Amino acid sequence: MIDFLIVGSGLAGIAFAEVALQNDKSIYVIDNNSQNSSKIAGGLYNPVILKRFSEVWKAQEQLTIMSEFYTALECKLSIKVDFKLPIFRKFFSIEEQNNWFAASDKIGLAPFLSPKVLSNKFEGIDSAYGYGEVLQSGYIDTALLLKEYRNYLDLNNWLDESSFEYGAMKIADNSLLYKNIEARNIIFAEGFGIHSNPFFNYLPLDGTKGELFIIKAPGLSLDVIVNTSVFILPLGDHLFKVGATYNWKDKTDLPTDEGKQELIDRIKEIIICDFEIISHFAGVRPTVKDRRPLVGTHQIHNSIHVLNGLGTRGVMLGPAMAKALFESIEYKIPLDKEIDINRFKKSIL
């Protein structure tokens, strides 16, 4: 019997898999690779919601846990995925500068916002009003991380790349049987695929589509992430990742002409040089209306659990939420009420 059967190998699934392994638990992962929001994610970690100048929920705690988590994974997989880069918020007016000064004085934001206006000059950007610097920020190379972690699982014979069949699962009092796999627990980390899950499809996960570009801009020189209405992230060799759009109606993972034009228009608001679109990606983020993850245990079956709803901040939230769920299952440590799925109790007749 294994300890944890995990359905999904996106950011949530691999975070839980790794937390379990670090605690000497046995795992097996099932994922047909159909959900691609983690693979095309921007990968930014940013402790500040720049649109509203407010602190991300429990930002410092998440940053501490994620830093240790990705450092350990880099050593384990012999790869580099955590790139610590400042985020520069480009200002378009004196008023925006003043709003930044006011925000940097707030107690919760002071550790994350530099109080200075920076006048850095970057080739290809006109920045008459300068920038504000976000501290403790950077990005995770999610595509490389997920690819290498799946390879690691595969090498250890811990990965099944077939579709999960809910009807093939038999539930006992303190365990479950899926085909020929007996497990103490199952973790559903399916992202937007939760809508097909008979145990958790009542949860209010509302996918938000995002579209991103990889562009080539030889006239642009950046060694930081620039963020306004979109982010521009340097990848090297004059390549930049740019994103992202937000579409609450379209639930497909297909790039659109509308998304393309929106990104083009926003890029032109930031840079003054020519650029070429190399790639255009789209994916549906697993978002929740109250902006909190969906973490917890089924109301009836105590061996069935969910880890979902990481939304736009999956690289920050994933390690912390996986740790919280693991400790809830193994040590009966109560989940924070803000993330516990019991806030959306299902009526059971």
pLDDT tens-digit map of 207-254: 889 999 999 999 999 999 999 989 999 999 999 999 999 999 998 989
SS3 (DSSP) at 267:
helix
Please tell me whether residues 298 and 274 are part of one structural domain: no
Please tell me whether residues 237 and 333 are part of one structural domain: no
pLDDT-based confidence at 38, cuts 50/70/90? low
Q: What is the pLDDT of residue 347?
A: 53
The arithmetic mean of pLDDT across residues 159-164, rounded, is: 96
Q: 241, 257, 285 — which closes off a domain?
A: 285
Please tell me whether residues 192 and 221 are part of one structural domain: no
Please tell me whether residues 8 and 128 are part of one structural domain: no
Please tell me whether residues 153 and 263 are part of one structural domain: no
Looking at the DSSP bridge assignments, the partners of residue 240 are 215, 234
- Strand 87-90, strand 225-227: pairing: parallel
Q: What is the pLDDT of residue 35?
A: 61
Q: Give Dmax (Cα) for the chain.
A: 66
Q: What is the rounded distance in angstroms from the CA atom of residue 149 to the CA atom of residue 115? A: 39
**Residue type (1 letter), 309:** G
**Would you say residue 279 lies in a domain?**
yes
Find the domain containing 9 and state its range: 2-41+143-203+289-344
pLDDT-based confidence at 338, cuts 50/70/90? very high
Q: What is the pLDDT of residue 77?
A: 98
**Would you say residue 315 lies in a domain?**
yes
Please tell me whether residues 327 and 293 are part of one structural domain: yes
Q: What is the pLDDT of residue 32?
A: 83
Q: What is the pLDDT of residue 42?
A: 79
Mean residue pLDDT across the chain: 94
CB atoms within 10 A of CB 117: 16
The arithmetic mean of pLDDT across residues 25-31, rounded, is: 97
pLDDT digits (tens, 9 = 90+) for 72-119: 999 999 999 999 999 999 999 999 999 999 999 999 999 999 999 999
pLDDT digits (tens, 9 = 90+) for 42-73: 799 999 998 888 999 999 999 999 999 999 99
Q: What is the CATH number of the domain that holds 269?
A: 3.30.9.10
pLDDT of residue 159 exceeding 70: yes
Q: What is the pLDDT of residue 127?
A: 93
Please tell me whether residues 128 and 213 are part of one structural domain: yes
**Would you say residue 149 lies in a domain?**
yes
pLDDT digits (tens, 9 = 90+) for 260-316: 999 999 999 999 999 999 999 998 888 998 999 999 999 999 999 999 999 889 999
Q: What is the pLDDT of residue 349?
A: 40
Please tell me whether residues 32 and 130 are part of one structural domain: no
Instruction: Tell me how many domains the chain contains.
Output: 2
Please tell me whether residues 224 and 93 are part of one structural domain: yes
Q: What is the CATH number of the domain that holds 9?
A: 3.50.50.60
Cβ(25)–Cβ(5) below 8 Å:
no
Please tell me whether residues 221 and 274 are part of one structural domain: yes
Cβ(132)–Cβ(113) below 8 Å:
yes
Q: Which helix (H) or strand (E) holds 155?
A: helix 142-155
Q: 269, 285, 301 — which closes off a domain?
A: 285
pLDDT digits (tens, 9 = 90+) for 116-156: 999 999 999 999 999 999 999 999 999 999 999 999 999 99
Q: What is the pLDDT of residue 212?
A: 95
Please tell me whether residues 199 and 267 are part of one structural domain: no
Q: What six digits make up the tokens of 240?
A: 């930049």
The arithmetic mean of pLDDT across residues 5-25, rounded, is: 97
pLDDT-based confidence at 39, cuts 50/70/90? low
56-192-84-275 Cα dihedral, nearest 10 degrees = -110
